[in-house]
Every structure is written in structure tokens, then in C-alpha cells.
Amino acid sequence: MTPSSLPIAIVTGGNSGIGLETVKLLAKDHLVYAIGRNPATLHALEGFANVNPVALDITDFSALSAFTSPLTRVDVLLHSAALSVPSTTLEATPELWQQHLNVNVIAPAELTRLLLPALRRSSGKVVFINSGSGTLALAGHVVYSASKFALTALAHALRTEESEHGVRVATVAPGPTDTPLNQATRHREGNHAPIDPRDYLTASSVARAVRFIVDSPEDTQIADIVVRPRRDKAKR
């Protein structure tokens, strides 16, 4: 198929971690718009076939509207961009709360709203990358956890709202994953020790779960996938 005839996929956080690995998988048979903020990593995506790097701040809602307005058909929308800054309730400022809610909840909600006509037209799929923190809040991560709880609610409500329009909605909730976001979070907590690979998923493994959802047949609605490392500390 020519690029113009390929299904359309949009991936936020598409230049790093789980988003980047998903872009690589989807680009095999989709035209992928990989949204990111880092010009250097976006530039590296220019060598990939069927990938259009898009420099965009997803919290700039006017820019989101300008980006989405020409799109008349979207087959896959993956929300992978996220912010995670460790904080207790005592330490968290209103600014920190607003930053997390803007990136982790409001931007995905607004981008989805803008693209719903295009998603309905193709009976598309919306996939949210959530977290174990979206169902179990951890001390010291109150702001991030609360935003991911809100993202869980958004996904559940959207699934019910859009079922009659043919849009399917799924959540992938990874356990600890070796990504730049996870590394930055660990460093903010003062933990610079090397990770044990047995305790962490790879971003490509989580991306395969997303691809599984994308490839699911028309008679299925995959709602939630939880992906954990094989050596799961949470269960020991």
C-alpha cells in the first residue's frame, strides 16, 4: 500500500519509551504521526518509513486543534505521553497538580475529543497507556497516581460513550518499565543505582501489548491489559 492508503495512527510521546517502540511497530502497516516535544529525538524519527514526526506541545490546546483539523480519518490514537514527578501530599504544589493533570488527563481528553469524528468514521481504536498507579496509589507519588486514576475514569467512561459509534477504547497498564520517564523519576527520588532487568519490563514488550489491541478482530472489545515483569516485586 502507498502511504496515502495506509491506516492512520497518532501516537503522543512518540519519540521516547513506550510511544517510540509502538511507533516502530505501527509504522509497518500504518502512517504514523509521532508527536513529541524534543526536537533531537523527533529528528531521529525522520529516517523511519511511514512516520511523520510532529513537534507539538500537547498542553497547547490551540496547537492541538490546528494539528487535528485537517485529519478526516484516524484509525488508532495512542496516548503515551506522561509526566511523573514524585511528591507527597505535603510537598505537592498547585502548579505540580496542574502540570500533571494537563499532561496526563486533560491533554488526552482534549485530543480524543477533537479526533472523535475521525475515529468514528473509521471505527477506530483509542489506547491509553496507564500504570499500576492508576489503580493503586503509592506513597510519595500522590500527584502522578491521582492523575492516572483520573485517566482510568476517562477511559472507562469513553468506552461506554463511544460503543454505539464503533470506537473501541482500551487501557494498557504496565508495571515498572525501563523508560526515560521511569529513569528520570528514579533520579528525582535520589536513586541512581542500575536497575535489575528482571524487575522491569522493556518498552518494546509494552508496545507489543498495544499492537495486540490494534490487531484485535472486529468482534472484540479489549478493555484493560495489565502487563507485569515476570519477577513481580509487588506480588512477593
Tens of pLDDT, residues 18-62: 999 999 999 999 999 999 988 888 988 988 999 999 999 999 999
Diameter over CA atoms, the chain:
55
Task: Respond yes or no: is residue 200 known to be catalytic.
Answer: no
Residue 179 has a pLDDT of 65
* Cα dihedral across residues 219, 224, 229, 233: positive or negative: negative
Q: At 52, which amino acid appears?
A: N
∠ CA 44-45-46, nearest 5°, is 90
Q: How far apart are the first and last CA of the chain?
A: 48
Among 144, 148, 155, 210, which one carries the catalytic annotation? 144
**Alpha helices in 27-123, H assignment, sequence order:** 39-44, 61-68, 94-101, 107-122
Q: Please state the φ and ψ torsions of residue 231, each to the nearest 5 degrees.
A: -95, 90
What is the bridge-based pairing of β-strands 201-202 and 224-227? unpaired
pLDDT in tens, 172-181: 999 887 766 5
pTM of the prediction? 0.90
Q: Are 30 and 76 in contact (CB under 8 A)?
A: yes
